[in-house]
Amino acid sequence: MIRAFNFRKYKAPLIVLLIIAISITGYFAFFKRSSTQLYSKQYKKIAGQCTHYDIYADFNPENKSINAVQTVRYKNNTNTTLNELYFYLYPNAFKNEDMTPFPGEEFSRAYPNGFDPGYIEINYIKAGEEELDFKLNDIYLQVPLPSKGLKQGREISLEISFKVQIPNCLGRFGYGEKTFNICNWYPILAVYDENGWNLDPYYAIGDPFYSESSIYQVTIEAPKDFIIASTGEQVEVKDKDDTKKIWTIETGLVRDFAWTASSDYKIASTTVDGIKIYSYYFHEGGGKDALKSAAESIRFYNRYFGKYPYENYSVAAADFYIGGMEYPNLVLIDRTLYGGSFLEYIVVHETAHQWWYGLVGSNQVKEAWLDEGLTEYSTIMFLENKYGKQGKQAYDDIVKSRYHFFELSNPLDFRVLRALNEFEGWKDYDALVYARGAMVFGEIREEVGDKTFQKVMSRYLEEYIYRNATTEDLIRLWEKETNNTIDRCFFNKMLNIMPDDEKENISAA
């Protein structure tokens, strides 16, 4: 995610340059190699043991509701017997006015018409013909498993019936004047890792999500006049009757399933490297600009990091006050940015998230810098490639300046690597996760050179595609690939990780 109004505080000269029709073409040396075989190997390994979701959703925009039934096929890949499964019910974070996931000062932006509740209700859960008990606690759903639990390597299939109430809210989940944003909307399994079940709050800062790659088949009933942009491939759209259409959507390995719907969408498309790219928009000029930025950035990231392995990618204008938000194969862009000077930057940033979050995942609650810092620096590299020296200046004007402004405020804590609840607010989160996080990769590239940087980051993609990586994984990879030229001490310095014996204030390196 990127917040557009953060940039409005910086009067950097590059912001003007980004909206000038500059045609600078420079030689960019890519070493080309096929990732198809490796992706196939990784895909088969993970697809054979991942969770499968089959969701049938009846979308009623008049009542602002969705009635759905989902089947979840889960295999226990842990090293222990599981006696229960945990799901996130993110819509319940929008149920009460005092717990909405927005900073207090932004409440009126999120709810311009006043608070409107959103939530999810569970009707029943079945395993075969057996109806199971379940427990609800805020945004968590606990499902005790029958018999003696689920042993290692065994599978279980659950049927979950639920209803979603969509709030009048301009966030990830909600509706506005033009769009319904149906994101983080269904019961999604929590991650079970070496720490057990990861059950974190829906924080108002950052992207408080952590999920594993899964395979989805989703069927959506919607009024005939609505157009849907979504994760996955829309394999069939057919009439159900005179008033409704049925959208059948299938995915490969993805971390989530999101969609947005509008009766006013226009669509433009193009093809890059065999990938169909769509722009869902309301105004012609901005829609074509978003499509161009998406196509150019897909082409750049394909050549620099490795091929985007899906058949399509969609950029959708939305009633989304924050700026931009990434989901697999789909990003939401605040429709008020269309035609403005920030559109290119936002689209390019969210497109980079298709690699860093989408393909290589991470725990965005505990290690937010890992995807946001790399995504922000990937955005800078795109600008550098497209605009030459003027684009390269973005590193100083947009990234370094944000961090240095933060330094001037005399903060008490400079740590980049920390959980979302340890940040005071968006100010230090933006400066440390986005800006300082991007500087980590900028310093590495300056130290080792572009060719080595590209080689190692491509290896990072290959090694962790469809999986979740950690900061520790990244450090070990750089130590191995550079023979400790980039080592743990380097990361400790750049991430402002201080020795255990240093107490009180944590000063910047």
Q: Please, are residues 489 and 509 in contact by the beta-carbon 8 Å criterion?
A: no
Phi, psi of 276, deg, nearest 5: -80, 125
Q: Which of 33-37, 86-90, 170-174 has the lowest mean pLDDT?
A: 33-37
Question: Which two tokens mark 89?
Answer: 């019910």
What's the pLDDT tens digit per position in 430-485?
999 999 999 999 999 999 999 999 999 999 999 999 999 999 999 999 999 999 99
Question: Which of 211, 232, 253 is the last residue in one of the domains?
Answer: 211
Question: Which two tokens mark 469?
Answer: 């990586």
Residues 198 and 330 in one domain: no
Mean pLDDT of 333-344: 96
Q: What is the mean pLDDT of the chain?
A: 92
pLDDT for residue 247: 98
Question: Is residue 186 predicted with pLDDT exceeding 50?
Answer: yes
**Residue at 442 is within a domain:** yes
pLDDT for residue 6: 60
pLDDT for residue 169: 98
Mean pLDDT of 267-292: 96
**Residue at 244 is within a domain:** no
Question: Looking at the whole model, is its pTM more than 0.85?
Answer: yes
* CATH classification of the domain holding 157: 2.60.40
Residues 405 and 315 in one domain: yes
**Residue at 262 is within a domain:** no
Question: Which two tokens mark 302?
Answer: 């394909």
The total of structural domains in the chain comes to 2
Neighbours of 461 (CB within 10 A): 20
**Residue at 188 is within a domain:** yes
Residues 199 and 302 in one domain: no
pLDDT for residue 482: 97
Question: Which of 177, 211, 245 is the last residue in one of the domains?
Answer: 211
**Residue at 259 is within a domain:** no
With a pLDDT cut of 90, the percent of the chain lying above it is: 87
> Which residues fall within 8 angstroms of residue 18, CB to CB, at 6 or more apart?
341, 344, 345, 383, 387, 394
What's the pLDDT tens digit per position in 130-173?
999 999 999 999 999 988 899 999 999 999 999 999 999 999 99
Q: Domain range spanning residue 287?
A: 2-39+270-494
**Residue at 117 is within a domain:** yes
What's the pLDDT tens digit per position in 7-19?
544 444 443 333 3
3-state helix, strand, coil in the chain (%, to 5): 35, 30, 40
What's the pLDDT tens digit per position in 245-265?
999 999 999 999 999 999 999
Residues 35 and 55 in one domain: no
DSSP annotation of 129: T
**Residue at 30 is within a domain:** yes
Task: Name the more confident of 424 and 21.
Answer: 424
**Residue at 14 is within a domain:** yes
Question: Is residue 42 predicted with pLDDT exceeding 60?
Answer: yes
Residues 358 and 432 in one domain: yes
Task: Name the more confident of 190 and 29.
Answer: 190
